[in-house]
């Protein structure tokens, strides 16, 4: 790494800079892994893992700031970036993505409520029509998730 006068100073700057680079690499790597492995149930079902990764990235950035010698801006940029991701990620996972645990109409061993809804071609589909023919898996979803 460039910069610094003596070997000792040089070492301090480069260790801080290395940490400042590692911090966003960890944070962005976690985002990339979550998106790429989204269809893998164990990844999708542990969204708190990206919050942990952001916390690790923020920790690396804190170390970078503590070890920063002459050149401080990479460490502060890394801390700002990972800090924002940590706050945003934690808010998204623990607040925004929460769904209140309200009572449902589903009862084990009881018949599910019947319905008729149009399919993608506009043809009506009635749940009771499958009775005596096939098991049915109903998936309520929205958006990409």
Angle at which helix 73-91 crosses helix 48-67, to 10 degrees, equals 160
Q: For residue 90, give the nearest of 57, 63, 60 by alpha carbon.
A: 57
∠ CA 72-75-79 to the nearest 5 degrees?
135
Question: Which two structure tokens, joined as six digits, stand for 34?
Answer: 């979550």
Among 5, 7, 8, 139, binds other proteins (CB under 8 A): 139
Question: Which two structure tokens, joined as six digits, stand for 115?
Answer: 């319905």
Binding mask 109-138 for other proteins (x = CB under 8 A): xxxxxxx-xxxxx---x-xx-xxxxxxxxx
Of the pair 5, 110, the CB lying nearest other proteins is at 110
Question: CB of residue 102 vs other proteins: minimum separation in angstroms?
Answer: 7
Size of site (CB under 8 A) for other proteins: 52
- Region near other proteins per CB under 8 A, out of 11-19, 24-32, 78-86, 100-108: 100-108
* Alpha-carbon gap, residue 83 to 90, rounded angstroms: 11
Q: How many CB atoms lie within 10 A of CB 110?
A: 8
Of the pair 2, 137, the CB lying nearest other proteins is at 137
Among 47, 62, 76, 77, binds other proteins (CB under 8 A): 47
Q: Given the rule CB under 8 A, which residues bind other proteins? A: 38-42, 44-45, 47, 93, 97-115, 117-121, 125, 127-128, 130-145
């Amino acid at each position: 790494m460039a910069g610094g006068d003596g070997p000792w100073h040089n070492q301090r700057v480069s260790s801080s800079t290395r940490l400042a680079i590692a911090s966003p690499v960890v944070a962005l790597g976690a985002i990339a892994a979550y998106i790429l492995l989204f269809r893998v149930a164990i990844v999708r079902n542990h969204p708190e893992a990206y919050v942990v990764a952001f916390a690790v990235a923020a920790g690396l950035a804190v170390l970078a700031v503590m070890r920063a010698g002459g050149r401080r801006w990479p460490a502060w940029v890394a801390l700002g970036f990972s800090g924002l991701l940590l706050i945003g990620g934690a808010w998204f996972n623990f607040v925004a993505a929460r769904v209140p645990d309200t009572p449902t109409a589903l009862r084990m061993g009881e018949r599910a409520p019947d319905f008729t809804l149009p399919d993608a071609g506009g043809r009506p589909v009635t749940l009771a029509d499958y009775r005596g023919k096939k098991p049915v898996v109903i998936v309520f979803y929205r958006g990409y998730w």
